[in-house]
Amino acid sequence: MDPTSVRALSEATPETRNRVVDALRALAITVVVVGHWLVAAVVVRDGELVPSAVLDIASWSHPLTWVFQVMPVFFFVGGYANALSWRAARRDGRSYADWVRARLVRLGLPVVPLLVTWLVLASTAYSLGVSGSTLRLASQVALVPTWFLAAYVLVVAVAPATLVLWERWRWWSILAGLAMSLAVDAVSIGTGEELVGFANYLLAWATVHQLGYAWVDGALGSRLRRLALAGVGLVGLLLAVGPGPYPISMIGVTGAELNNSYPTRVTMVFLGLLQGGVILLAERPLAERLRRPRLWTATVAVNARIMTLYLWHLTAMVLVIGLAMLAGGAGLGWEPLSAGWWATRPLWIGTLALVVVLAVALFGRFENPRRDTRPAPPLWVAVLAVVLTCGGLAVMAKFGIVDNGGVTWVWPLLPIAAQVLLRVVPRHAATLTHS
């Protein structure tokens, strides 16, 4: 998107728009991107790449994740935005299937070029003799962002139902979500059945999402309520990591007995309460600053390409590391956390940022799909598209797209199939109806 278009969008912003929502989304994505780049602690020893992470080798970094784990912020602001969007659809008489189609295209279309690129890269590299284990690790790292997209699409798909729960039961619905998340953890941790914990991808994140409903409806309007929200979150976290069994780090640490983010734990709900309360305490001064043209234009620019930035930032890192290895490990010889390593971080981040800028230039257009004016698809199409998208993305986030037997095509093709389905079936349905 060219600067003129960005400037025009920023100048056309209606007075009624809550600019803080957009600013928080842009700030959170920036923290995620830079955080991932900084936490990577790769080094070449004796010609071999040794991957690691700062969290794995520096326990002092674990408390910092209470600030840098910002996924709750995405669900919080997402709740605000999706409440407005679904209520507008209800007023206009739009169906659930029509609304879900629009949301899925907006969220799912930008991932298509990423998946196609990785299918081509992995297939080509495997045919040239690169080992399956190497490609599996590379694709796992690069496709980590798809876990959030899978969880978010799932929460969006049930947003009309959770909004009804909020409108009917208000804070009791959030309390119930918190209690159910805690119950899931009790069973999962108590029995050692990790699979049970995956229910919190829906329960925990949907509960944080509902906090956005409270925000948009003014239920968190007073300073006292915002302080109380942050206080409950802080106390909950302290109890969880103190007498409770949860680790301090809100991001997974290799070898830890328990992980707060995989599967999602109730700690993410408490972190969402804490971060949400703190954010809202700063809402008024932040809103005033966002009236400044330069700051608001920058916010609009990031939001205009936010999905591309998020989806491609780890692919950029994998590509840079791969090129460095082809150059004999150039730039990867510093021991993580050494003085030389810290001194080269600006160059590291700058190089990755340039690659991401190129990706945005090439693929950012996928964030501007044409408005679909056709009749709404059948309900089964919308539901199937959600299942295909979430299923494919969730599996890739865990396993990548390569194993020792070669490239696994089926998982990347599922989200792509969902996008095709959303475009093809409504056209056929409309033709049959017309005839």
- Over residues 156-206, the pLDDT tens digits come to 999 999 999 999 999 999 999 999 999 999 999 999 999 999 999 999 999
Average pLDDT over residues 419-435: 61
What is the number of structural domains in the chain? 1
Work out the number of other CB atoms within 10 angstroms of the CB of residue 186. 12
Nearest CA-CA partner of 149 in 192, 115, 180, 197:
115
- What is the rounded distance in angstroms from the CA atom of residue 400 to the CA atom of residue 382? 26
Residues 396, 146: contact at Cβ < 8 Å? yes
Mean pLDDT across the chain = 93
- pLDDT for 433 beyond 60: no
- What is the rounded distance in angstroms from the CA atom of residue 233 to the CA atom of residue 219? 17
What are the helix (H) ranges across 158-292? 159-169, 171-191, 194-197, 200-216, 223-241, 267-281, 283-289
- pLDDT for 426 beyond 70: no
The pLDDT of residue 79: 98
- Which DSSP string corresponds to 76-117? HHHHHHHHHHHHHHHHTT--HHHHHHHHHHHHHTTHHHHHHH
- Name the band, by pLDDT with cuts 50, 70 and 90, for residue 287: very high
Residues 315, 114: contact at Cβ < 8 Å? yes
Average pLDDT over residues 7-22: 88
Residues 353, 310: contact at Cβ < 8 Å? no
Domain that holds residue 84: 3-434
- pLDDT for 398 beyond 90: no
Residues 421, 381: contact at Cβ < 8 Å? yes
Burial 137-161 (b: 16+ CB within 10 A, else e): bbbbbbbbbbbbbbbbbbbbbebbe
User: What percentage of the chain has pLDDT greater than the value 70?
Assistant: 97
Lowest model confidence (mean pLDDT) among 109-118, 269-278, 353-362, 403-412: 403-412
- Per-residue pLDDT tens for 299-346? 999 999 999 999 999 999 999 999 999 999 999 999 999 999 999 999
Amino acid letter for position 370:
R
The pLDDT of residue 435: 34
- pLDDT for 432 beyond 60: no
- What is the rounded distance in angstroms from the CA atom of residue 172 to the CA atom of residue 247? 28
Give the CA count within 13 Å in the CB-facing half-sphere of 102.
15
Residues 6+ apart with CB under 8 A from 422: 101, 104, 105, 377, 381, 382, 385
Residues 6+ apart with CB under 8 A from 18: 80, 287
Average pLDDT over residues 70-82: 97
- What is the rounded distance in angstroms from the CA atom of residue 213 to the CA atom of residue 166? 7
Amino acid letter for position 347:
L
Helix (H, G, I), strand (E, B) or coil at 365: helix
The pLDDT of residue 2: 64
- Per-residue pLDDT tens for 214-249? 999 999 999 999 999 999 999 999 999 999 999 999
